[in-house]
Each structure stands twice: as structure tokens, then as C-alpha cells.
Structure 1
Amino acid sequence: MSLTLSTRLSAVRGSAIRDLLTLTARPHVLSLAGGLPAADALPRARIAEAAARALADPAAAQYCETTGIAVLREVVAAHESARIGRPVGGGDVVVTSGSQQALDLVARALLDPGDPVVVEDPVYVGALQVLQAAGAAVHAVPVDEDGLRVDLLAERLAGGLRPRLVHTVASFHNPRGVTLSQERRRALAGLAERYGFLVVEDDPYGLLAFDGAPPTPVAAHGDRVVRLGSASKVLAPALRVGWLTGPAPLTAAVERLKQSTDLCGSALTQAITAELLADEPWFAAHLDGLRAANRERAAALTAAIDTELGGVRRSTPTGGMFVWLDFDGPDAPDTTALLPRAVENGVGFVPGSAFSVDAGFAHSARVCFATYPPDELREAVRRLARSLS
């Protein structure tokens, strides 16, 4: 069948990560490609208990408000208030189908085709797809060991760049694994005030700090910040519960757009999420378990990289899920070309070029430490080392 698709679609790059999930789903492959929480870390029994309680109320199987059920919005508001250090009300929260929908709705509410936006380089692939779909003019600013180069952003702003928004995964960056320093967070919030753009603070990993102390959000330093959150990494991806908080005119616009997208989310999974987030002793213990497991897994993966892989520089994770690899030297592999050999040897990763705005990072890769226990992570690195020989 011949179809004429929109011109806007032609600008949207496919997600290499989603494609890789199919490639690496073979039983013999240890996939470090996806950002998947460990299966044994998903609180299935606790979710089942909450589901049973939720279904005792007929409303859990019915349509709900576009912005989400009231109890979840209040719970999220309380969590956000504690994180940013100022009051957030339930009316300031919009519940979405994962934080990816929140990002899409924000872009649709704010952007017209051709509007300039700033992203990090390397960039979270989902953000790049959303902004390309909106027809935005994407400007990339590099990321180093302390996160987004806010100094370079300031230079470009002084030179005349006027973005509508700046997207950042400030805490435990995807894919780079680094965290934006507090000095840069304050500076970024200050630039937003000075130049009138919005910061979109995408924060699915902030609660996964290995030391248990989540970084202070960018939103703590200024009002021109939209915060995106998610239950996927701290509870379970299948709940498909995310949220956003931000200025009232934006949340009102997002609500209108969401009505045209899906009317509302799942009242059932929202009720489950509300119960789990509101059970503070249980949730705190659950987070402690996640942090301890991820800390151990990150240590195993990085130690194996240091032992098995010569000529590679890596990030040092302090939370989140990812390690970034840079292969050095004249014989550094093109990681896109390396991937098929790696899959043949039973290991998967994401080539760095998947996260590039302008075809860079050919000799880089992202690997996830959260999915497998230490022994399997060490075996995955050994398989990667064999692929390089």
C-alpha cells in the first residue's frame, strides 16, 4: 500500500535502542543495551497486593481525570515538594503514560516548527525523537564529567541563541552516566531566568543515588523549570506511570493536549503507584535495596572493564544505570561496526553514535549495569573483550 506520510516524520530518527532490544533479545545474548531494571528488583508481590486493594474500588477500572487520579497527584506533589524545597500542590501535577509522554506533551505545548531548542550531546534518544517530531531546530551542547557545559551554553546565549527550552538529564545522565554539578545547576536556572527559556529537567534516575542522597534538582534554584518524573526505574516500567510539574500555564496546556491524545491514563496502575509511593517505610526500604544492588553491579561492571578492556576510558557511576565507554587510540573500533560481532559473541550494547546529534561518538558506547547480577556482568565484559580481538 502506498501512503503519503507527514513531512515532519522524515526528520524523526528511529530509536537504535528500541531496535537493539529486538536484536539482543536472543536467549544467549547478555544485553547491556537497554536501560532495564533487574527483573528480581521489580516488586511484583507488593504490586499484586496493591492491585487487589485498588480493584476493590470500581473507580480503579473506570476512566479517570485527564490529569490523573487525585490521590496520586497529591503523593507526587508531596515527593516533589520535599525534593525541590518549596510547596508543590496536587493541582500542579499532570500524570502521564511514562515520562516520555510528558516530554512529548511539553514539546507539543511549547514548540512550533523551526523553534530552537538545546539538548545535551550525547543526548537521550527519546528527547531527540520528540524534539525532531516537533520540528524543532536542535542545538547540541557538550556534556563532560560534571554534566552539561553550561559555560558553553552561556556563550551561545550571549551570541544570540534564543532557545524555547533546554532539555537535561541532570542526574545520572542517560547515556553519559554523569551528574550536573550544583554550581552548574544554579547557573542553568539563572540563565533560564535571564533569557526566558524553560529548562526541562528529565529526572527518572535521581532517587537512585548510590549514597542515598538524591542530587538537589535544578528546580530548587529557579521557577523556570519543568520537572519530569517516572515510576519506571524505581517501581516497574509496566506501570507506565510518569508525571510532570511546572508553571501553571504549561500544565493547563498539557492537560488540553492530553485530552486529544488518550483522554486519560490507567486509573488502576495510578492507584497502585499511589499506594506504593505513599507507603514511605516500604518505599524507602525498596529504594535502599535498589541502590545497594545497583552499587554492587556497577562496581562489578567497572572492575571488569578495567581488567578486560584495554584502551578504553569509562565513566564512574555514582547512581543511575549507565556507564559510558570511549575507546582510544589509532585502533579504536567503530562501535556500530563492532556491534554485530559482539552479538555473535553473546553480548549487546548501544553504539555511541545512537546518542549523537550530528553523527559523532563513533568510538563510544553505552552499557547498562542494572539488569544483570555481578557474575553475568563480568561474563558480558569478557564476551565484549573477545569481540575486540
Structure 2
Amino acid sequence: MTHAALSARMDGLRSSAIRDLLTLTARPDVISLAGGLPDPDFIPRERISKAAHDALGDPSSVQYGETSGLRRLREVIAERESSKIGRALDVSEVVITHGSQQGLSLLAQVLLDAGDVVVVEEPAYTGALQVFRTAQARLVPVQLDEDGMDTDALEAKLAAGLRPKVVHTVSNFHNPRGAVLSAQRRAHLAALADRYGFWVLEDDPYGELYFGEKPPAPLAALSDRVIRLSSASKVLAPALRVGWLHGDRKVCEAVELIKQGADLCGSSLTQQIAADLFSDVEWFETHLDKLREGYGARAKALVTAAETELSGRARFSEVRGGMFCWMDFVDDVDTTELLGAALEHGVAFVPGSAFAVEADLGRSARLCFATYPEALLVDAVGRLRKSVTAGTA
């Protein structure tokens, strides 16, 4: 049988290591620290149920909607985002997407031609890598530390002649590194965008999940060259599939045009639900406080146990919010090989190599603390220690 040829953009494209890993870790005996999955007990199912019931009383909730999204939801998002960026955001600048991942994909189609340069952080968010590789972009990594992307290193590359079309950053509680881009580096990155004319894609699904100090003002407050993306998945429910982006009006209009060919429109029902929940300000702020308290306690439990159980063997990132902790082994431990032993001991994580562009991240790993209560996280760390011991015995 002759097989049909696939498009050139499929060359070298591979499935997300994390999505593949979730299949392996679906066993009930495995405590999975691999996926960035919110705990279902932290998802406000009763409140969502009420909002769904109310929405279904409106016939428009089961009908096609505007490509750019339900106007009421765009108004709510515009109001919330205006308070963050310090200027009035017009509804026409907001596009509702099928999760922020679709927003990233649509922006890549609007902004990138094959061969264009995209600067990504390293370690990098795997979903972004998939999007940019599909767009056939040339990826140039810039290292990051606890203060986020090293903007001095980026400036050196620019001074040497690099001309990116796009710079992508997960500015708050980075996935997978957990870092927060400092206020100084935000200002520096915004100034570089203005000077060199590239777009900054500010990917911020975790910014509301801070455990102590609130992150600095968004990059979108500092430059018109910033397109900001966020999502309801981490603060309400992934199944709503509600994300959004805002920025330059011409870019938003182009995104809307491409989106017409992608899905015509999103779900009127889930967008009405999201609008209901976000607009109930008192309820939503109380809900966020519960998430911050709950996830913060889990982060502390995981890191405390890990620093005790793996003392002298590994270093762990400071966790100030979000869902992830980054682990670096100080000795010669290959985390891809370690994963096999870990699964035998009933625990899973994502090896660092899944987030690599050029760097060797073979001794690193991402741990998610969001999915399980503290006691299970402590148990998971104990299993991880046994797998390390077994693998190096």
C-alpha cells in the first residue's frame, strides 16, 4: 500500500513527552508528579454546576457564537486585565481561545514564517516548543535562573546580530523551572522589544497562584510589543477550555481571522460559565485564596520532604507559586533512566530532557505538587528516594 506523504512541517515533530508520560502513569498504583494537573477537589464543581444550570436557561448558550468569544466574557477579562496592566483594555483587544495553548498556536500562525527566529527560555515549556516547531521556526534558547530569563544574555545575542520575530516567556512561576521574571528583567525585556522590534509572547497561566509575594506587573504594562496570554484552566477548570489573549489590535484581528478557519468559534456554554465565575468577584477572590493556601501547603510539603530525603543528592528550586518544583541532581544521575526505576517504585516525574532545546538537562526533573494532598506527596518523595538508591546501588 502506498502511504500518502505528510506535509514538511511534520518532519521532526514529536509528541509531547509529558502527554506520552501521562499514559504510562495512569496506573492507580503510581503517584504521578508528572502532569500539571489541578486537584479535582480544588476545582469548584458545585459552583460550576450552578453556573452551567443558569447558562442553559439562555438558548444562546447552546448556539454558535462570535469567533472572538462571548462579549460578556471578553468584557470581564478586559476589566480584570486592565487592573493588572494599569490601562483601560478595550474589548476589541481581547480574543477568547480554546485554552491558552490554542492562543499560542494561533499567534504562531499569525506572526511566524518558516525559518523565523523564536527565542525561548531553557528549560522550555514543552507546549510552546511544539507550537514553534510546527511553525517551522528556528529556536534559539536563552538560559534562565531564579529571576527568569537572562535578559543580559539575550541582549548580547541581539547585539551580535540575532533578530528574533518572537520572544516567548512564561513570566510567572515558570513551567518547568518555577522562576519569576524579576521586575528589573521585565523592564529590560520590554525595552529590548521596543528597540529591536520583536514581539514578546507573555504566557501567564500561573500568575494568580502566588503563595507569598505577588509577582511584578505584567510585561504587557511595559510595552505595546507584548501579546499576553492566560487561561482559566489552572484557576477554575481545565475542562472549560477557556483561554484568552490581548495586545496589538491588528494582531488580535489577524488571530480572529485565523481562528475562523480553525474552529469558527469556541463553546458558548463554557464561556458563559467562565464569565459567571470570573464576574462573581467576591466568590472568585475567596476561591483564589483557597487555591493559594492549598497549593502553597503542598509545595512546602513536597520540597521539605525532598530536601530531607535527597539531602546532598539534589537541589530544588525555590517555590513561590504555580504548580512545579525543579530538581537538579548534583551527582551523575540520568533522570530519563531513573524514571524507569521510579515507575517500578510507584512514582513518576518528567525528566529534564523533555524541556531541553540545546542544553544538557539529563540530571534534572520537574515535579508537580498540585495534584495530591501533602501525605501522598511525602509518600511520593519516599518512593523517589528508594528509586534513586536502587538506581545508584
| TM-score normalised by the chain length of structure 2 | 0.97
Structure 2 equivalent of residue 126 of structure 1: 127
Correspondences of 1:17-36 after superposition (within 5 Å):
17-36=18-37
Q: Is the 8 A contact 1:212 1:291 kept in 2?
A: no
Using the TM superposition, give the Cα deviation of residue 301 of structure 1 relative to its aligned residue in structure 2, in angstroms: 0.2
Using the TM superposition, give the Cα deviation of residue 214 of structure 1 relative to its aligned residue in structure 2, in angstroms: 4.1
Structure 2 equivalent of residue 301 of structure 1: 302
Q: Which residue type is aligned with residue 182 of structure 2?
A: S
Structure 2 equivalent of residue 320 of structure 1: 322
Deviation string, structure 1 residues 301-320 (Cα, Å, up to 9, x no partner): 00001110131011011100
Using the TM superposition, give the Cα deviation of residue 11 of structure 1 relative to its aligned residue in structure 2, in angstroms: 2.9
Structure 1 equivalent of residue 42 of structure 2: 41
> Quick one: structure 1 residues 144 and 359, their matched pair in 2 at CA, closer, same or farther if it must change by over 3 Å?
closer
Structure 2, unpaired ranges of 5+: none
CA distance in 2, matches of 1:77, 1:37: 25
SS of the residue 1:178 aligns to: coil
CA distance in 2, matches of 1:297, 1:250: 39
Using the TM superposition, give the Cα deviation of residue 212 of structure 1 relative to its aligned residue in structure 2, in angstroms: 6.4
Using the TM superposition, give the Cα deviation of residue 14 of structure 1 relative to its aligned residue in structure 2, in angstroms: 1.7
Structure 1 equivalent of residue 198 of structure 2: 197
Structure 2 equivalent of residue 206 of structure 1: 207
Deviation string, structure 1 residues 191-224 (Cα, Å, up to 9, x no partner): 0000000100000000001126343111111111
Q: Does 1:336 align with 2:298?
A: no
Q: Does 1:147 align with 2:148?
A: yes
Q: Is the 8 A contact 1:212 1:288 kept in 2?
A: no
CA distance in 1, matches of 2:8, 2:338: 33
CA distance in 1, matches of 2:188, 2:241: 33
Structure 2 equivalent of residue 382 of structure 1: 382
Structure 1 equivalent of residue 66 of structure 2: 65
CA distance in 2, matches of 1:344, 1:29: 9
Structure 1 window deviating more from structure 2 (357-366 vs 154-163): it is 357-366
Q: Is the 8 A contact 1:118 1:141 kept in 2?
A: yes
Structure 1 window deviating more from structure 2 (8-17 vs 224-233): it is 8-17
Using the TM superposition, give the Cα deviation of residue 89 of structure 1 relative to its aligned residue in structure 2, in angstroms: 1.2
Deviation string, structure 1 residues 134-184 (Cα, Å, up to 9, x no partner): 010110000111100000000000111010010000100000001010000
CA distance in 2, matches of 1:132, 1:202: 17
CA distance in 2, matches of 1:30, 1:148: 31
Structure 2 equivalent of residue 86 of structure 1: 87
Using the TM superposition, give the Cα deviation of residue 5 of structure 1 relative to its aligned residue in structure 2, in angstroms: 1.0
RMSD between aligned residues = 0.9
Structure 1 window deviating more from structure 2 (211-220 vs 33-42): it is 211-220
Structure 1 equivalent of residue 118 of structure 2: 117
Q: Does 1:345 align with 2:379?
A: no
Using the TM superposition, give the Cα deviation of residue 359 of structure 1 relative to its aligned residue in structure 2, in angstroms: 5.6
Q: Which residue type is aligned with residue 119 of structure 1?
A: V
SS of the residue 2:96 aligns to: strand
Structure 2 equivalent of residue 261 of structure 1: 262
Q: Which residue type is aligned with residue 324 of structure 1?
A: W
Q: Is the 8 A contact 1:147 1:181 kept in 2?
A: yes
Q: Is the 8 A contact 1:11 1:133 kept in 2?
A: no
Structure 1 window deviating more from structure 2 (350-359 vs 152-161): it is 350-359
SS of the residue 1:299 aligns to: helix
Q: Which residue type is aligned with residue 5 of structure 2?
A: T
Q: Does 1:357 align with 2:365?
A: no
CA distance in 1, matches of 2:235, 2:138: 33
CA distance in 1, matches of 2:4, 2:356: 30
CA distance in 1, matches of 2:384, 2:346: 8
Deviation string, structure 1 residues 266-293 (Cα, Å, up to 9, x no partner): 0000000000000000000000000000
CA distance in 1, matches of 2:264, 2:145: 40
CA distance in 2, matches of 1:75, 1:349: 37
Q: Which residue type is aligned with residue 14 of structure 2?
A: R
Structure 1 window deviating more from structure 2 (187-196 vs 9-18): it is 9-18
Structure 1 equivalent of residue 166 of structure 2: 165
Structure 1 window deviating more from structure 2 (351-360 vs 159-168): it is 351-360
Q: Which residue type is aligned with residue 166 of structure 2?
A: L
Corresponding pairs, count: 387
Q: Is the 8 A contact 2:74 2:91 kept in 1?
A: yes
Deviation string, structure 1 residues 19-67 (Cα, Å, up to 9, x no partner): 0110111000000000011110000000000000000000000000000
Structure 1 equivalent of residue 281 of structure 2: 280
Q: Does 1:366 align with 2:366?
A: yes
Structure 2 equivalent of residue 106 of structure 1: 107
Deviation string, structure 1 residues 206-256 (Cα, Å, up to 9, x no partner): 000112634311111111100001000000000000000010110010000
Using the TM superposition, give the Cα deviation of residue 3 of structure 1 relative to its aligned residue in structure 2, in angstroms: 2.8
